[in-house]
């Protein structure tokens, strides 16, 4: 029982890190970026490549994945994404899904379609068990590690968004770009940085999640739906919304697959539709703004 809960939380935390960048671009900047999963995949493949070919240790790969993918995100934002901000949602959907398709085919071409594995260091492979019977709690060390990393990230992100100067600039730029630029905020730079950090987080999530989620060229399409669920169900009030949604989704998915394996992912989709019919703007909406 507790093990399922634990695995669900770890899975949810992982989804959160993968999706939080999308929560920012989609939720705050109102840009539907279906190619978000491609950034995550890039992080995952980068880690595999760095570890296997260059012998970089796993822990060093994580920041590497973040930085490289963030740079790539910044480059793409400047060249391709920025003209899309003002376009209708349909255009954004088509554009970003086109990018995702290209990423899938490109990885297939260069790396091959087989699943890639990450060799975890020794100290992350074990498993600790506490209690017994129905209260047995088995904690994989790697999942514990994920939970710790994600918890730290969540706190840091929340502090940046709510307490720093950059956070308030971002919120201003999102609420009304024209007024914000009138106040001397360089909206373009704020959006560029935000997009880069969001992509970087996706890359980090991809690196962390490659072990649990599996890594093959269809990754962006396979998990796109999960990211979108996290964001649309969570709403955009702050990052607590997506966090709650990610945890809910993670636990529901793991528990659903454990208790009623016949239903598979059915539970998750049904849950999403019901929540969205109940609260179309997501569980936590932003008061004011738009």
Partner 1 sequence: MNEPSTYQSALLHKARWRPLEFVVWAVAFALPFLMPSHSLLVNEIAIVALFAMSLDLILGYTGIVSLGHAAFFGFGAYTAALFAKLVMPDPTVGLLVATVLSAVLGLVASVTILRGSDLTRLMVTLGTALLLLELANKLDWLTGGADGLQGVVMGPVLGLFEFDLYGRTAAWYSLAVMLLLFLVMRRIVHSPFGATLKAIRDNRLRAMAIGIPVVSRVVVIYTVAAGIAGAAGALLAQTTGFASLDVLAFDRSADVLLMLVIGGVGWLYGGVAGAIVFKLLQNWLSAVTPQYWMFWIGLLLVLLVLVGRDRVLKPWTWLGKRKGSGA
Interface residues with partner 1 (CB under 8 A)?
26, 32, 80, 83-84, 86-91, 93-95, 97-106, 108-109, 221, 225, 228-229, 231-232, 262-266, 269-270, 272-273, 276-277, 280-281
Given a contact cutoff of 8 angstroms between Cβ atoms, the answer to whether 13 and 148 are in contact is no
Question: Which CB atom, from 26 or from 244, has the smaller least distance to partner 1?
Answer: 26
Distance (Å, whole) CA 33 – CA 28: 12
Please state, in angstroms and rounded to a whole number, the distance separating the CA atoms of residues 195 and 192: 5
47 vs 92 by CB, closer to partner 1: 92
- What's the min distance (Å) between Cβ of 42 and partner 1? 15
CA 208 remoteness from chain centre? 11
Pick between residue 102 and residue 183 the one whose CB is nearest to partner 1.
102
CA distance 37 to 137: 32
Q: What are phi and psi of 86, to 5 degrees?
A: -85, -5
CB of 239 to partner 1, least distance (A): 17
Residues 6+ apart with CB under 8 A from 158: 238, 239, 240
Query: Is 290 buried (19+), middle (13-18) or exposed (0-12) by CB count in 10 A?
Result: exposed
Least separation in angstroms between residue 55's CB and partner 1 is 31
CA dihedral 58, 114, 204, 223 (to 10 degrees): -150
Between residues 6 and 16, which has the closer beta carbon with respect to partner 1? 16
In terms of CB distance, is 6 or 219 closer to partner 1? 219
d(CA 215, CA 141): 20
Query: How does 167-202 read in b/e, with b if 16+ C-beta sit within 10 Å?
Result: eebbbbbbeebeebeeeebebeebbbbbbbbbbbbb
Q: Between 82 and 141, whose beta carbon lies closer to partner 1? A: 82
Specify the residue, 54 or 277, whose C-beta has the smaller distance to partner 1.
Answer: 277
Q: CA 223, 81, 87: angle at the middle one, nearest 5?
A: 100
Shortest reach from residue 143's CB to partner 1, in Å: 26
CB of 68 to partner 1, least distance (A): 22
As measured in angstroms, the least distance from the Cβ of 217 to partner 1 is 9
Provide the minimum distance between the beta carbon of 153 and partner 1 in the complex, in angstroms, as a whole number: 24
């Amino acid at each position: 029982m507790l093990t399922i809960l634990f695995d669900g939380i770890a899975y949810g935390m992982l989804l959160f890190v993968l999706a939080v960048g999308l929560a920012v671009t989609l939720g705050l900047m109102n840009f539907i970026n279906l190619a978000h999963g491609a950034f995550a995949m890039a992080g995952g493949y980068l880690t595999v490549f760095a570890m296997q070919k260059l012998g970089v240790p796993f822990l060093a790969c994580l920041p590497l994945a973040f930085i490289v993918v963030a740079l790539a995100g910044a480059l793409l934002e400047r060249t391709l994404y920025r003209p899309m901000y003002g376009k209708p949602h349909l255009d954004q959907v088509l554009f970003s899904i086109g990018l995702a398709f290209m990423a899938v085919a490109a990885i297939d071409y260069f790396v091959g379609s087989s699943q890639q594995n990450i060799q975890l260091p020794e100290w992350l492979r074990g498993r600790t068990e506490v209690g017994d019977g129905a209260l047995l709690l088995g904690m994989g060390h790697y999942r514990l590690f994920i939970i710790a990393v994600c918890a730290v990230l969540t706190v840091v992100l929340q502090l940046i968004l709510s307490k720093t100067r950059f956070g308030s600039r971002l919120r201003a730029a999102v609420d009304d770009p024209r007024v914000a630029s009138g106040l001397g905020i360089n909206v373009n730079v704020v959006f560029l940085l935000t997009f880069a950090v969001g992509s970087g987080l996706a890359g980090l999530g991809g690196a962390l999640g490659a072990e649990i989620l599996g890594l093959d060229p269809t990754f962006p399409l396979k998990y796109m739906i999960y990211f979108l669920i996290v964001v649309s169900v969570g709403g955009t009030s702050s990052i607590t919304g997506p966090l709650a949604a990610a945890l809910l989704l993670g636990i529901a998915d793991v528990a659903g697959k454990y208790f009623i394996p016949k239903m598979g992912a059915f539970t998750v989709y049904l849950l999403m539709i019901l929540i969205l019919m109940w609260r179309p703007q997501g569980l936590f909406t932003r008061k004011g703004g738009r």
